[in-house]
Amino acid sequence: MSDATKPAQNLPSPELMATLVALCKRRGFIFPASEIYGGIQGFFDYGPLGAELKKNIKDAWWQDMVQRRDDIVGLDSAIIQHPKVWHSSGHVGGFSDPMVDCKVSKLRYRADQLFFGQVIVAGETVGYVSVLEDATMQSEADEKALKIKKKLAKQGELAPVQLKSYMDARPEEYALVPSPATGEPGSLTPPRAFNLMFQTQVGPVSDDASVAYLRPETAQGIFVNFKNVTDSSRVKVPFGIAQIGKAFRNEITPRNFIFRSREFEQMEMEYFIPPDDDIWPKAHQEWIQWCKNWLISIGLREELIGADVHPSDKLAHYSKACTDLTFKYPFGEQELWGIAVRGNFDLTQHQAGSGKSLEYFDEARKEKYTPHVIEPAVGVDRIFLALLVSAYYEDEMDGEKRVVLRLSPRLAPIKVAILPLVKNKPELVAFADKLHAQLQRRYNVFYDAAGAIGRRYRRMDEVGTPFCVTVDFDTIEKDNKVTLRERDSGAQTRLSVEELMKTLEDRILGP
């Protein structure tokens, strides 16, 4: 590895987040939604490059999950389903997060993300501090405690704050914990359940019967179509149904950029297996491994991927096991991809709710059963962010500092940039134009004829374009060849157009 290709850092620093948010805005990856009206919290718009990158993530998943496997088929179900779907699935009754209100500021917090602790000076409790969960909350709490000690002019040793979740607060503590908004105690309510589903009305009359919900996950669309799919395609257990689509959750505290938003996109797959107790553990492990390998294959840094195995006493009553693949984001290690073993809970619920049989006849075994499922469920936006974290480097090339996104060619929003050396030589421009048209039929290509060549390279490095092709005087005067410049190494190779097409195809689409 040359100096230029060495990773610039090991673990993502907390500051990286601000850098990435600024890069996304500056280069057209992601904008706050409705920005000219002041924005709307928890919603984001993907700009020209973001739309490409997001589409490439979804295409890669669909190709590998659906098109390149014989045992998985795709589905695209409606966002709004019959409200009974959400009653049967348990979302109307139980899809909630514990919420705390600050009565003074009118701000809301998730109780499980709000932490508090006593300020203890020389063994005596002199107050309380509160912080919102993140990687630096302990130091933040200790700083706040020190301020309280100074303000009260207390002498003696300040103990490190022992933080605990507001979920574990005793009733008498609710009035003592300061609101994160005002810094004063007395305004926080006890935690209460808040349903995360967005409600809407279907049809012209607005009454109780017209209430409908925006789907909070894509999975239920799969379960309610189980019979349609088995009746219409030739799938046989074990098999999967995959779906990509928008999901909506009225998150109490959307935060960390696109990590937790109110409108996001999911890629979910339900893998149906026979009910026998000895089948699911192996299938579960295989799916965990598949998901991890896939994340690495699209360019997530392996050392930033972890796993969180849910302890059995924390599982939902119907769930047999659940492992989350996590990612070390700049704000801490968080869930990226949940791989759950859901038994036959969902199909059974919809069978009871609809009165329609969702049983499956297994021809090989000559028996009828309600299949069980393994569910790998991941958020596109969380992968998007993990890819940026993995790909962002600051290094030096040709004696110049640069920012580079080392996105894999398969995922990069722009695959190739065509850079004619000058724009005032008609034959040279004509050659570049022709090449542009040829490449555009296959890839998302960018044409840039303005400015110094070094600056044009830097602009492409910053948005992750893996290949730049320059057309120069030699091209038209001598050899009909172009120069292919590689983003990561800066290596330059002289190639004929035919050789270029072949090289690009191998590198972008794979051998």
Residues in contact with ligand ATP by CB under 6 A are 217, 249, 251, 260-261, 264, 266, 335-338, 377-379, 381-382
State the amino acid at position 226 in one-letter form: F
Can you tell me which residue has the tokens 């991890």? Answer: 292
User: Is 53:465 a contact under the CB 8 Å cutoff?
Assistant: no
Rounded Cα–Cα distance for residues 258 and 254 (Å): 9
Q: 20 or 482: whose CB is closer to ligand ATP?
A: 20
Rounded Cα–Cα distance for residues 56 and 413 (Å): 7
Rounded Cα–Cα distance for residues 41 and 474 (Å): 54
Report which of 190, 173, 41, 164 is spatially closest to residue 103, judged by C-alpha positions. 190
Task: Supply 459's token pair.
Answer: 């602009």
Cβ 334 to ligand ATP, closest distance in Å? 7
Cβ 290 to ligand ATP, closest distance in Å? 15
Q: 248 or 467: whose CB is closer to ligand ATP?
A: 248
Q: 251 or 270: whose CB is closer to ligand ATP?
A: 251
Q: Is 164 helix (H, G, I), strand (E, B) or coil?
A: strand
Q: 371 or 379: whose CB is closer to ligand ATP?
A: 379
Residue nearest to ligand ATP (CB): 379
Report which of 424, 412, 427, 393 is spatially closest to residue 504, judged by C-alpha positions. 412
Cβ 198 to ligand ATP, closest distance in Å? 12
Q: Computed from CA positions of residues 467, 470, 474, 475, in that sequence, does the dihedral angle turn out positive or negative?
A: positive
State the amino acid at position 324 in one-letter form: D
Cβ 381 to ligand ATP, closest distance in Å? 5
Cβ 428 to ligand ATP, closest distance in Å? 47
Task: Supply 127's token pair.
Answer: 């107050």
Q: 110 or 144: whose CB is closer to ligand ATP?
A: 110
- Tell how far CA 320 is from the center of its chain: 25
Cβ 333 to ligand ATP, closest distance in Å? 12
Phi, psi of 75 (to 5 degrees): -155, 150
Q: 144 or 382: whose CB is closer to ligand ATP?
A: 382
Q: 328 or 382: whose CB is closer to ligand ATP?
A: 382
Cβ 210 to ligand ATP, closest distance in Å? 26
